[in-house]
Amino acid sequence: MFSQLPMQVIEPTYRAVIATSWGGMLAVLLAMLMLSPLQYAINGQYEALTLVLRNDPSPLGLEVLIVLLCLNAVVQVTVHARSCRTAKVCVLVLSVLYGLFFLAHNVVHMVSGEPLGLQSFLDFTHHALAGFAIWGAWRWQKAA
C-alpha cells in the first residue's frame, strides 16, 4: 500500500507512528509507576507499599526508570528533528532494546508467579506500542 505513495508522504507517516508509539509508551510507563502506589494507598496499606517499592522498582530500578523516561522524551524529539540515516538506525535500535527490556521485565514478573491484573493490561499495551514503534522505525530507516 505505502509503496505507491511518494516519499514525502510516507516518511511523515512513519515518524508519526514512532513518535505516537513512544508517547503512548511514556503514558503507560507513568501509569505503571502510579498504579501500585495508588492501590496500596487506597487500601491504607502504607507499610506494605514501602516493602513493595523496595523490590519493584527498587532504588536501582528507580534510577533506571528515570533514564528511560528521559530517553523516551529524547527519542520523540529526535524522530521529528532528525532524518539522517544515523538517527533512523539509532531510533530503530533504541525501539528494539526498549521493547525487549520491558518484555524481559514482564517475563520475570510472570515467572515469579505474579497474578495477571491491571498491571498486566498496562504491560501488554506497552508491548503492543513497542511493536508499533519497532515497525515504524524499521520502515522509516528502510525508506531512506
Backbone angles phi, psi at 3, to 5 degrees: -65, -20
Confidence class of residue 59 from pLDDT cuts 50, 70 and 90? confident
Element (H, E) at 68: helix 58-81
- The full set of domain ranges for the chain reads 9-142
CB neighbour list of residue 99: distance below 8 Å, 6 or more residues apart: 127, 130, 131, 133, 134
- pTM of the full structure: 0.86
For 12-23, how does the pLDDT look when each residue is reduced to its tens digit (9 = 90+)?
889 999 999 999
Confirm if 94 and 75 have CB atoms less than 8 A apart. yes
Rounded to 10 degrees, the C-alpha dihedral 68/69/70/72 comes to: 80
Distances (CA, A) of 81 to 76, 78, 89, 97, 135: 9, 5, 14, 21, 19
| Residue from 125, 60, 61 nearest 99 by CA | 125
pLDDT surpassing 70 at residue 8: no
pLDDT surpassing 90 at residue 117: no
Q: What percent of the chain has pLDDT over 70?
A: 92
Residue 10 pLDDT: 67
Confirm if 144 and 85 have CB atoms less than 8 A apart. yes
Instruction: Quote the CA–CA distance of 86 and 19 in Å, as a whole number.
Output: 17
pLDDT surpassing 70 at residue 144: no
